Structure 1
Amino acid sequence: MLKTDGGLTTIKSVRNDYREAYNGCSWLTKVVLKCWLSHSESRNKNNNYPFSFENYTNHLSVRDYIEQIELDMIDCEDIGGKDTILAKLKERLIR
């Protein structure tokens, strides 16, 4: 992964890392990758470098992922659907 200063990276690197990692991951990692890609695309659209995966994930909780899915920012159809993924994430909050 190509990184710039301060835990940032390029959108090209984000897209590549997403493509390379996605198929071999658990449902939870797929959710995190989808959220990271979405956030990175938004930052890129606003002429900002995306955060590295490590920097992005260090600042978010399960509640943040739930919020993004509830707001339909993230499509979960390929990993079981919105309701299924929300139920799994909310179960993690209870533990």
Structure 2
Amino acid sequence: MKPKMMVHGSYARTISNPDEVERLLTMGWVVAAPKPKTAMAKRMRALRARRRAEGWTVVTLWMSSDDAVAVKAALLPGETVVQMIIRLVRKQSLL
């Protein structure tokens, strides 16, 4: 069971036990949704969900400072890193 945020008065706590959730509901507690961490959080979650559904993949890339300088030097004006990678892969006939 997914933990639920329970609220009563000015006191809130997260409950994982379904029996405890039912007990607190009968005592007047309500299930609450946590507030988004930023004003854009809901939009960002929706965007990530849509991209996952479209088959997008998240890639995290760590590189040395020298490699980062080389990547920045290879970028064309207004080009994103992804666009640069695709351009260079196509140039090498790997796609």
TM-score tier (shorter): under 0.3
What TM-score, normalized to structure 1? Answer: 0.22
Higher strand fraction: Structure 1 or Structure 2?
Answer: 2
Q: Structure with the greater relative contact order (CA < 8 A, sep ≥ 6): 1 or 2?
A: 1
What TM-score, normalized to structure 2? Answer: 0.22
Q: Which has the larger radius of gyration?
A: 2
Higher helix fraction: Structure 1 or Structure 2?
Answer: 1
